[in-house]
Amino acid sequence: MLRTITLKRSFVRSYSIEPSSKVISSLKNPDLFKTKGYVNGAWISGSSQFEVNNPALYNSEGGKIAEVDSFDVEHYETAVNAASDAFKSFKSTTGRYRSEILLNLYRLMLENKEDLAKLIVLENGKPYNDALGEVTYAASFFQWFSEEAPRVPSDIIQSSNQGNRILSIRQPIGVCGILTPWNFPAAMITRKLGAAVSVGCTTVIKPASETPLSALALAHLSELAGFPKGVVNVLPSHNSSIIGKFMCEHPKIKKISFTGSTNVGKILMTQSSSTLKKLSMELGGNAPFIVFDDADVDKAVDGAITSKFRSSGQTCVCANRIFVHESIYDEFQAKFVAKLASTVKIGYGLTEGITHGPVIHSKSMQKVRQHIEDATSKGAKILFGGSKLPDIGENFHELTVLGDVTTDMLISKEETFGPVAPLIKFSSDEEVLQMANDTDVGLAGYFYSSNVARIFRVAEELEVGMMGVNTGAISEAALPFGGVKESGFGREGSKYGVEDYTVIKGIVMNVQ
């Protein structure tokens, strides 16, 4: 079908939209499209099915992507037992062997990156170039952890007893339950799976019900990469709360890794207390983005657009509050709006030139509208965008910039997870640090300054787990990814990423 859309400021978008089924049929590797579950090296059927829909074409002709099998507790019990049995031998494999199969999977992802990106576009809605970037990013974790696998550290510690030697060794913790969100359907799995496999753990993976296709494609590639049966098990389910509780309470699952909201993280943590599981939690954020008066304004504008509007604002490290010094506020907002007006193209992700896609579903749209309406009712001004785009699709919204935002507005207190950028004035370092830290969460933060002393001071005082200084893009496999406060605990990626999948065993040896 052909759509011609006229947007505000005389932007015209004409593009043809292929039904989801036609995109699936065009995959170079049709074996990547899976709708069954993967347990112990076999593809199995579930107890029911649920629809997976393209958020860009929701309730439209061609919007349905697939009916995917849904799995219940009994199937998960089978998967946990398979992972537990596989762990008995997999834990004893060499680091070099695990490195090789991870590197195989890395190469297979890159060989199939165009198809994997198309699947992400279909189920998530992000533009193709963003999706392609995600596949490359996701694959990089397998490369990174393939390099870490042969080098899991052990230590010899000096004993106070002359006749003793103390050894500390890291061993794989066991079966790991992996619970992932929809916003990065490939990368949120690979960041966890790569670390788990590198040290000898086995896994049971529950992908988000909105985006199970990427997870199932990865399961297929893991089979081709030579992963032993039972090491990777992937079971989609539309009963997220039931399955989450089951995994947290199962005695054979020794670790849970979860990425999602703070509220859900607290529930899972409570449920895991019955077995005292090891946990890593990457939870909600409310990232500050600070532009000081000595910043390079043009560079800060580019960084703010990258950070705030990537994937239409639906990333956990998106800037949520943009603080701009009052002396450069007018210049920043003018350049920010002008850059968006000249570069933004909203539409279907597989159309050439599109920069931004839809929000994931109606609940996300409701929160976007709530934040805009609350802010404008309290005096904020719409500087750019501000409206839904129903002519494109019911999940599309203009990228929006709000001026004169204050800290009593909802958008200053809650994570929007959508395409709205609030601009907040500040007058001093002390004021902006107080505002930036006035939140229960602390995942990521950003600031722009050319003053070296200020850079060190602000970097040390911002209460976040990750920080971008004069850059709006921080994510890579080498970064210790994680937050502080109610944004969770544990680190993914980097040289620290293996620690959460191991336990330390101390061995005291008498040598006399």
Among 17-21, 88-92, 479-483, the minimum mean pLDDT is found in: 17-21
3-state DSSP assignment of residue 49: strand
Residue 325: what residue type? H
Q: Is a pLDDT exceeding 90 seen at residue 123?
A: yes
Average pLDDT of 62-88?
Answer: 96
pLDDT at 7: 44
**Which of 289, 31, 282 minimizes the C-alpha distance to 179?**
282
Spatial contact of 112 and 29, defined as CB atoms under 8 Å apart = yes
Average pLDDT of 18-33?
Answer: 92
How high is the mean pLDDT of the chain?
95
Q: Is a pLDDT exceeding 80 seen at residue 53?
A: yes
Q: What is the CATH number assigned to the segment(s) 71-283+491-502?
A: 3.40.605.10
Show Cβ contacts of residue 377 under 8 Å, excluding neighbours closer than 6 positions.
Answer: none
Catalytic residue among 123, 148, 282, 499: 282
Residue 360: count of CB within 10 angstroms of its CB: 26
Which residue, chain included where needed, has tokens 């539409």?
347
Q: What is the pLDDT of residues 184-228, one digit of tens each?
A: 999 999 999 999 999 999 999 999 999 999 999 999 999 999 999
> How far apart, in Å, are the Cα atoms of 475 and each of 62, 140, 233, 397, 493?
34, 11, 27, 25, 10
**Which of 299, 380, 313 minimizes the C-alpha distance to 344?**
313
> How far apart, in Å, are the Cα atoms of 79 and each of 72, 180, 246, 385?
11, 17, 12, 47
Distance between CA atoms of residues 349 and 16, nearest Å? 11
Q: What is the CATH number assigned to the segment(s) 287-476?
A: 3.40.309.10
Among 7-11, 321-325, 368-372, 384-388, the minimum mean pLDDT is found in: 7-11
Which residue, chain included where needed, has tokens 């956990």?
316
Average pLDDT of 223-250?
Answer: 98
CA angle 310, 315, 319 (to 5 degrees): 70
- The pTM of this model reads 0.94
Q: Per-residue confidence at 493, pLDDT binned at 50, 70, 90?
A: very high
Q: Is a pLDDT exceeding 60 seen at residue 9?
A: no
Which residue, chain included where needed, has tokens 């995917």?
68
3-state DSSP assignment of residue 167: strand
Q: Is a pLDDT exceeding 60 seen at residue 3?
A: no
Q: Is a pLDDT exceeding 60 seen at residue 309?
A: yes
Which ranges in the chain are annotated with CATH 3.40.605.10? 71-283+491-502
pLDDT at 397: 98
Which ranges in the chain are annotated with CATH 3.40.309.10? 287-476
Average pLDDT of 354-376?
Answer: 97
Q: List, in sequence order, every beta strand (DSSP E) within 207-354.
A: 232-234, 253-259, 278-282, 287-291, 319-325
Q: If DSSP states are collapsed to H, E and C, what string results for 6-42?
A: ECHHHCEEEEECCCHHHHHHCCCCHHHCCCCEEECCE
Distance between CA atoms of residues 141 and 186, nearest Å? 11
Task: Say what percent of the chain tops pLDDT 70.
Answer: 97
Q: Which tokens in the block code for residue 51?
A: 């629809």
pLDDT at 16: 60
Q: Per-residue confidence at 80, pLDDT binned at 50, 70, 90?
A: very high
3-state DSSP assignment of residue 505: strand
Residue 252: what residue type? K
Respond yes or no: is residue 282 known to be catalytic. Answer: yes
Spatial contact of 297 and 274, defined as CB atoms under 8 Å apart = no
Residue-level length of the chain: 512
pLDDT at 59: 78
